[in-house]
Structure formats: structure tokens, C-alpha cells
Amino acid sequence: MNGETEAEVKLPTDSRKKIIIVSSIVIIIVVAIIISYWFFLRPLPKYPWLFEGAYGKYTGETNIMGMTINVTLRMEVLEFNDTHAKILNYIKVITPFGSQEFQNITWVDLTEETYEMEGYTLKNTYDQEIYTEKFGTRTCTVYEFEGENQSMTIIYVDKETFWPIKIKLTSTGTTAMSLDLDLIETNIPGLK
């Protein structure tokens, strides 16, 4: 061991794990924020979720290099007018190294007609029935986006309420992971 102690040998592995976990957290946060921007920037025929205090809370868990990472995402409408909504995005990530919380508040233009997410290409759109433990079987429009670094984001938007009920993030690149964020709590009419 060339005079190295056992602790010195393990340090690079722990440091590498921390770097991978931190980079995974950054990826999760960026994708969650991009998803909320995309969701609120697309055209909707009606906005049953457009009222102050409307929210959806999502949770999910993934495993990276043998470590469990728990993610909570909350999107909430703080206020709105005829053309814009002020949205709070709150993200909490819990890792073996502790927890971190992030939030972003933005005014989103509701008049934009786009299905684009920055850094992602819309690859497929289709309707599908999915089952969630909390909300039963729902008919959704599914949007599949392909991103950089071998990543994919799939958003399941309920056709009745136009609110995402599931978000799936996958990456097969350097930080391989699969994370399902399932809607577990909301006050959106038609879902609660």
C-alpha cells in the first residue's frame, strides 16, 4: 500500500461518490425546473389548476452507486393574471450525505404555444392510460423528450385536468439513473 492507510485509500472512492451524487442532484434540479417551465409554457384549452394555492407534490427515489436518493418536488401557483402565472418550484433531495433544498420562483407566460424544453427534443407524443396508487387509472398525454448526455424525460399530463401526474427521468450516461416522480398530493379539482 506504499505507506497509505486504509482511510486514505477509501477517500477517493467516497469523494467520487459525493461528486457523482452532487452531479446527479444538479441534473435532477435542472430537469425539474425545465419541466415546470415547459408545463406552464404550453397551450392549454382551460386551466382548472389556475388558482392561487393550486399545487402538486411529487416524490420519487433512485439508487446511484448503491446509495438511495429521495426527491420531493412541489409546484405551486402563487398568483396569476390573464397572461402569466407566478410559480414556485420547491425541490428537496435527501442523500446519505444529508439533505438539500432548492426553490425557484418565476412568472410564466401562459400565452406561449410551445412543446419545447431547453436542451431537450420532443421525440414522441401519444395518449396512454396509467395507474397511480393515489389517483387510480388516468388517461394521459405522454410527452417523451430526449436530452443531452443520453437522458430522457417523460411527462404524463392528465387529459382531464391538464396537470402532470407523473414525471420520469432517466439517464444512461456517466450518471446512470432512473427516477419516477409520482404525484402524491394535490388540491387540483378533478384529482383531489
Residues 107-120 pLDDT 10s: 877 776 555 666 77
Q: What is the mean pLDDT of residues 22-26?
A: 69
d(C-alpha 34, C-alpha 39), whole Å: 9
Angle, alpha carbons 153-125-77 (nearest 5°)? 60
Domain limits for position 33: 6-186
Residues 42-76 pLDDT 10s: 544 467 788 899 999 999 999 888 889 999 999 99
Position 11 in a domain: yes
d(C-alpha 105, C-alpha 94), whole Å: 21
Of the pLDDT bands very low, low, confident and very high (cuts 50, 70, 90), residue 39 is: low
Position 191 in a domain: no
Position 1 in a domain: no
Query: How many structural domains compose the chain?
Result: 1
% pLDDT > 90, the chain? 35
| Three-state DSSP state, 112 | coil
pLDDT surpasses 60 at 128: yes
How many Cα atoms within 13 Å fall on the side-chain side of residue 60?
Answer: 23
Q: What is the CATH number of the domain that holds 39?
A: 2.40.360
Position 14 in a domain: yes
Position 192 in a domain: no
Of the pLDDT bands very low, low, confident and very high (cuts 50, 70, 90), residue 38 is: low
Position 168 in a domain: yes
What one-character-per-residue DSSP string does 125-166 give? EEEEEEEETTTEEEEEEEEEEEETTTEEEEEEEETTT--EEE
Q: Is the pTM of this model over 0.85?
A: no
Supply 163's cell numbers: 396537470
